[in-house]
Amino acid sequence: MQASVSVITLGTTDLVRSRRFYSEGFGWTPVHTSDVIDFYQLNGVVLGLFLTPLLEEDMNRTGLVTPGAFALAHNVRTAAEVIPLMDRLAVAGGRITRPADAPPHGGLRGYVADPDDHAWEIAWNPAFAMDAEGNVTFGL
């Protein structure tokens, strides 16, 4: 079975607020927007921001809560990009939960929660190679 992830769907309670974080903060342009779901094309993966009650309906369950026990990471190419991007995300409605510092494995990273409290790690990790499209390869 091919090891792959195709879509990451994050529940949101306010799409306009989410759009500000992802479009103005990260600077990403959605490939599709609507009143209930926005999509962003990432590196071979699609990111969806979906109204949480509709995500629950699609999943056939209720009681989704935040902050969930997960984090997404957006790696950047140089250490100098980490703090400015975290600051932009905070201006666009995010909340810095860990200011940038050096993790035990090296590099530089901090965490920003999106407006729905989903955690994004902003990281420069020299051990993980990154190609021109933003695809990363695990390394130690």
Using CB under 8 A, list all residues that contact a copy of itself. Answer: 1-11, 26-29, 31-32, 39-47, 52, 55, 58-61, 63-75, 85, 97-98, 103, 111, 116, 118-119, 121, 123, 125, 128, 130-131, 133-138, 140
Sign, CA dihedral 128-122-68-24, equals negative
Q: Give the span between the Cα atoms of 107 and 1, in whole angstroms.
A: 32
Which residue type sits at 31?
A: V
Q: How far is the CB of 2 from a copy of itself (least distance, A)?
A: 5
Shortest Cβ distance from residue 10 to a copy of itself (Å)? 5
C-beta closer to a copy of itself: residue 52 or 79: 52
Give me the least distance between CB of 140 and a copy of itself, in Å please.
7
Nearest to 53 by CA among 92, 86, 13: 13
Residue number with CB closer to a copy of itself (35 or 140): 140
- Distance separating alpha carbons of residues 40 and 47, to the nearest angstrom: 5
Sign of CA dihedral 16, 18, 23, 29: negative
Q: Which residues contact 44 (CB under 8 A, 6 or more apart)?
A: 133, 135
Whichever of 46 and 83 has its CB closer to a copy of itself, that residue is: 46
- Give me the least distance between CB of 83 and a copy of itself, in Å please: 14
Taking the least distance from each CB to a copy of itself, the nearer of 16 and 71 is: 71
